[in-house]
Every structure is written in C-alpha cells, then in structure tokens.
Amino acid sequence: MDVKQEAIEKRLELKGFLQTGTKYELKDAHDLTVAYTPGVAEPCLHIKEDEDKSFDLTCRSNMVAVVSDGTRVLGLGDIGAAAAIPVMEGKSLLFKRFGNVDCIPLVIDTKDPDVLINTVKLVQKNFAGINLEDISSPKCYEIENRLKKELEIPVFHDDQHGTAIACLAGVKAALRFVKKDLSKVKIVVNGAGAAGANIA
C-alpha cells in the first residue's frame, strides 16, 4: 500500500489521529466529587481570585492551539478550514511526540483576518500558546503581529519561524560537514513568502 492510500486508511480506521486523554481516573463516587461537583468549585474560586492559577490548576499550562484558516496549506493551497484539519492533527501529533506538548487543532472557517484574530482572542484562556499554521500571506503577518500584541500568551507562526529554524539547522549541519564557516559562504533564498522572508 502506498503512503497516500495508507494516510486515508489509517484515518478511516482510527477516525482521526487525536483523542481526549485523562490524567485522573474516576474509580468511584468520591473520585467524581473531586473531579466535578462539589470539589471542582475550589479550583474555580482560586482561579477567580488569580487567573494565572489556571496554569497550575488546569491542563492549560501544557496546551497549545494549532490555528489555521486553511488558506495556504503546503503543496495544496487554499483548501479551506475542514480540509486543513488533517494537517493540524498531524502537527498536534508532532508537538506531543517530540515535545510532550498537548495540542488542539483549531481551524477557523474564515478568510477575514479580523474574525480569525477575534476568535483566537476569545479562546486564549484555554491555552498556554498559539501556533499559527498554513495561513496565506500577506495576511499571516498581520495576524501574527496583532495576536502577539493583543494576546496574553505566546504566539508562534510556524510557516515563518519554524521553517527558518529548520533551514538554519540544516545549513549549519551542512557547513559543519564540509568544514566551512557561515560567515564565509553565500546562501540564496529563492522566494519571499512567509517562509523565505524569515529564512533570510
């Protein structure tokens, strides 16, 4: 079976690649009272007094939203929000597997930067960070810049900065292999899109 067919078969078999997991096991009625009513009121009141406690008393401290509008999916272009979900699931798997960071794919069905920005602002209290993914340029720059100014949590645009980091790592490794210094070589960046502009 080729990889394209396997990508479909695995998703059909598993109904996607993500599921909700729990850290606290409900074994009896007491456990239920700790997890939910009446015990849940106590962490709620602590967070009401100090919102930063939401990072300690909930899953928020290790939760990132992988946000996209599906307008610039690598190799596919503007495929729309729903069609971008498999990419966001895949990115969430990478975060979990290689960084042990929990992620939620969050595709927003709009091409309007203001709607996307306002939606992310409204849901930010659930997350410790936002990873922007597969948003067309030039609006991706505006979205990232505004979110960095308007959110209380970190924002990372993977198409720009993640690609730049990976390329720099590759260049450094190649130069080490051929025993050359970065300051003594010329490097050409072909293209000035979201990735190319930040690689430069």
The pair of three-digit structure tokens given for residue 44, joined into one six-digit string: 């709620």
Q: Where are the beta strands (DSSP E) in the chain?
A: 63-68, 102-107, 129-132, 155-157
Determine the Cα–Cα distance for residues 177 and 169; give it in Å rounded to an integer.
12
Classify burial at 65, counting beta carbons within 10 Å of its beta carbon; exposed 0-12, middle 13-18, buried 19 or more. Answer: buried
Can 172 be counted among the known catalytic residues? no
Catalytic residue among 4, 23, 27, 36: 36
Can 91 be counted among the known catalytic residues? yes
Catalytic residue among 24, 27, 48, 91: 91
Relative to beta strand 102-107, strand 155-157 is unpaired
Residues annotated as catalytic are: 36, 91
